[in-house]
Structure 1
Amino acid sequence: MSEQSIKLGDVCLDLAQGRPVHVIADTGQTVAEWSEANNYNLLDNYGNSRFDTTNDDRVFDVVYCSSLKSRPSKTYAYPESRLGRIESEVADAGRQVADRVVVTVLEKLFERAATDDDGAVAVLESYATDVGYADEAAEARELAEVDRIIRGEA
């Protein structure tokens, strides 16, 4: 398995049950933080305890997606150690689906920012870089510039 981390939108396996889950949120909390905030110790959960879960593991909200008839009505908070990410991106030169979404959204934002205000382009690029998407921002900005050139707007 690669070292790519779990991101919003990923499909994973619940390693305790072998069932597919869809990651709908990164809680932004560790197991210790989530446990304190929710008055429930994730380390004591039998399913989590089997996977060397630590207080430093990130916690994700997931829903089960086991069949076409599934209509998830509940989310579950699972530590990263309990989730096995399905690496569907190997069919896309290694790009995670979440990264593709980020580039697409940033590209549209760069196109709009360049149309409205060139200063907004720099602000958008700075923000994207600050939140850890420097490579995706550079790619999106380049794609937006190419689109503008093709349309004759540059």
Structure 2
Amino acid sequence: MTSYHFEKIFYKIQMKMKIAVHAIVCFFISLCFFEIIEATEKFYDCNVYTNEENIPTESTYCVNDILDNKFYCKSWECEALECPLDQQLPQKGDDCSICPDTCTNGGRLFNKGERIPCIDGSNKCTCISTGTVISTRRGTNKFWLCGAPVP
């Protein structure tokens, strides 16, 4: 065999190795991609997560069911405000802004003195002054949070 034949064989081997390496890289990238955007299952009004690191950090309230080791989370978008932009205020401990004499809980805007169901599905929230919410102190679970029938 001549050196030309060896070069041709070597070139074919290189090409096959490149294809194999690309396939392996694509496989691992797809594994990483699926891990990063872990598909969540639904449980009534909630998204269910098995990995706490995948839970959104804003506008989300979760409970951890220790029996099945899953996180049941309800997310929301903030209601549109009706007051002028220069009167809109951040509410401490909440991602949503508010207007004077209002509060928000779970994205829902409500007026001072008004009492509404809290986002956890278990407690009652009352707006006592601009941005200040007090609530009853009852515990919650995935059924109340997610709007599921309690077994």
Query: Is the TM-score greater than 0.5?
Result: no
Q: Give me the TM-score of the superposition, normalised by structure 1.
A: 0.21
Which of the two has higher C-alpha Rg? 2
- Greater helix share, structure number: 1
Q: Give me the TM-score of the superposition, normalised by structure 2.
A: 0.21
